[in-house]
Amino acid sequence: MLEIFYSTGIRLSEMNKIDLDHIDHNEKNIRILGKGSKYRLVLFGEKCEASIRNYIKYSRNKSNSRNLSNALFLNKYGSRLSVRSIQRIVKKYMLISGIKNNLHTHSLRHTFATHLIEGGADIKVVQDLLGHESPSTTQIYTHTSAKHTKEAYFRFHPKAKMNVK
């Protein structure tokens, strides 16, 4: 779950709605039902792909139920995990991973957006991946570090490049 949240930037409510047939393993994308009942595609890389496959192979089908839901994440009864259960699981594994701050699933969404922007992604691309209607909403999620801001200034501003006093 942590890998999917970080790799895709999806919302908690979107994670809860992922079904097995929403995942395209060949194209490495997930069809997400987002806000406003609109679908969008989110992308994922090799590490996330391996995590999803391992979860499906080793963990997903451990339910005692014969009638498994089509949901990606299941509870012990074979039904879709609740939003609250996903929150508890994520919090547990964040603590196990050594993340002691009071972080939530939405923190991974912020990190996803920030890393894309700091890596040079266009704000419009990030907006589309996050499923935002407006670029101004996306800007809220992009916390650039002081170091990144300084590097960008000295790299791109014409007066900063010159040795002018």
Catalytic positions, written as ranges: 11, 35, 106, 109, 132, 141
- Record the tokens describing residue 80, joined without a space: 């879709």
Answer whether 88's CB lies under 8 Å from 76's CB.
no
Q: Give helix 105-118 / helix 123-130 axis angle, nearest 10°.
A: 160
The vertex-11 CA angle with 128 and 74, nearest 5°, equals 130
Answer whether 8's CB lies under 8 Å from 44's CB.
yes
Find all residues with CB under 8 Å of 165, minimum gap 6, and list them: none
Burial code (b: 16+ CB inside 10 Å, e: under 16) for 87-119 equals beebeeebeeeeeeeeeebebbbbbbbbebbbe
How far apart are the C-alpha atoms of 129 and 117, rounded to whole Å?
12
